[in-house]
Amino acid sequence: MTQKIAILPGDGIGPEITAQAVRLLDKLIAQGLDAEYEYAPLGGAAYDQYGSPYPEATQTLCRAADAVLLGAVGGPQYDTLPRPVRPERGLLAIRKDLNLFANLRPAVLFPELADASTLKPEVVAGLDILIVRELTGDIYFGEPRGIRTLDNGEREGFNTMRYRESEIRRIAKVSFEAAQRRNKKLCSVDKANVLETTELWKEIFTEVSKDYPDVELSHMYVDNAAMQLVRAPKQFDVIATGNIFGDILSDQASMLTGSIGMLPSASLDENGKGLYEPSHGSAPDIAGQNKANPLATVLSLAMLLRYSLKDEARAAQVENAVQKVLQQGFRTADIAEAGAKVLSCSQMGDALLDAL
Ligand code: NAD
Ligand code: IPM
Ligand code: MN
């Protein structure tokens, strides 16, 4: 059956980077991939068109799709809108609506980019870690939340960090299974020395570990994990953590790969349906200049082919194309060594198309 893909370019550099991935998708379809795609707006683009960051038309398309490919959302022009209609709310809403609780963010260093990292090449050479971030709970969604005025007239902002056992258990299973397919080491990151929510997190991970005796489970406080990620990142195989810690640690881990423009992600539900997007944002500072790195988005397309379309061969084909253009010395500005020839976003797309 023809697989349906929803494409949500979003805001800022979103349309530029998504366009490169779609060019590759077009070629794969021309070569026989049984898939079709349709565009819909999300984020600021959707707000501009429909007054909502996750409008009904987008909901309908994405619910019916087998997979969703997203660029990025957000921009300074939307930062003063009421919170419920801001672009970021649209992103949170689609994650929740599609039950995309498992966010996989692989930080893999392509050997050609060892010098692009701000860390010493020997610290990052051979790096291959997977961050499993819980995506539909935690302080991102916990109620109550808001800004209220106290009796003395002072305002107070408040959010609530919450996790239910069932939410922790299902992300623990995903994490252990991912570790089983890799080097069988799982580090659960928490702040159990201070926060009850993550004390429960730690307890459930320990409990679930009994079902995975072949996986070595360790625990680490998030502050230490942030330090260890830059001190000796290769000690990690799979890192599992909650929504907010995973957001922060994955941006940090991206620099181990040379640039945030290299870090793809898959956000999965319980049945293999997924949303695929680069881990970075809409990069307003370089939007519209055709200089963003499209590789994180292209690698997200590879994850889409692997996890939702179950097409390992084409997923590998896309990843090999990325490897090849890097071997050929093609670089966008964010990963270029001094003196290297810098390609635009669409020129990188040209090179990828040739390599595919
Ligand atoms: P950002 O990730 O957009 O940008 C951070 C820095 O990284 C910028 O200097 C940017 O130019 C650079 N960068 C990011 N992606 C790049 C790429 N592909 N190639 C080259 N350079 C790249 O983070 P920010 O500036 O904190 O946020 C900007 C907007 O994006 C905000 O509105 C934020 O809410 C939103 N955001 C959206 C997502 C998402 O859609 N998943 C993720 C993060 C931030
Ligand atoms: C990400 C982003 C989002 C998040 C924002 C834009 C809501 O930073 O995808 O990492 O915090 O999850
Ligand atoms: Mn983030």
| Number of domains, the chain | 1
- Whether residue 280 is contained in a domain is answered as yes
Q: Please identify, by atom number, the ligand 1 atom nearest to the C-alpha of residue 70.
A: 40
Walking along the chain (356 residues) 10 residues at a time, the average pLDDT comes out as 97 98 98 98 98 98 98 98 97 98 97 91 96 98 97 98 98 98 98 98 98 98 98 98 98 95 97 96 98 98 97 98 96 90 96 97
Rg (CA), the chain: 20
Which uninterrupted H or E stretch holds 267? strand 266-268
The enclosing domain of 36 has a CATH number of 3.40.718.10
> What pLDDT, on the 0 to 100 scale, is given for residue 236?
98
The total of other beta-carbon atoms located within 10 Å of residue 54's CB is 28
> What pLDDT, on the 0 to 100 scale, is given for residue 4?
98
- Whether residue 170 is contained in a domain is answered as no
Among residues 104, 75, 103, which one has the least CA distance to residue 90? 75
- Whether residue 335 is contained in a domain is answered as yes
- Whether residue 118 is contained in a domain is answered as no
> What pLDDT, on the 0 to 100 scale, is given for residue 272?
86
Task: Show the ligand 1 pocket: residues with CB < 6 angstroms.
Answer: 13, 17, 72-75, 88, 91, 260-261, 277, 280-286, 292-293, 296, 334
Q: Please identify, by atom number, the ligand 1 atom nearest to the C-alpha of residue 345.
A: 19
Mutate which of 282, 285, 300, 345 for ligand 1 pocket (most atoms within 8 A of beta carbon): 282
Place of tokens 């794969």: 28
- Whether residue 93 is contained in a domain is answered as yes
Which segments of the chain does DSSP mark as H helices, in order? 14-30, 44-50, 56-64, 87-97, 121-124, 165-181, 196-209, 222-231, 243-254, 295-307, 312-327, 345-355
Residues with CB under 5 Å of ion ligand 3 are 247
Q: Residue 302 is encoded by which pair of tokens?
A: 């590879």
ipTM above 0.90, yes or no: yes
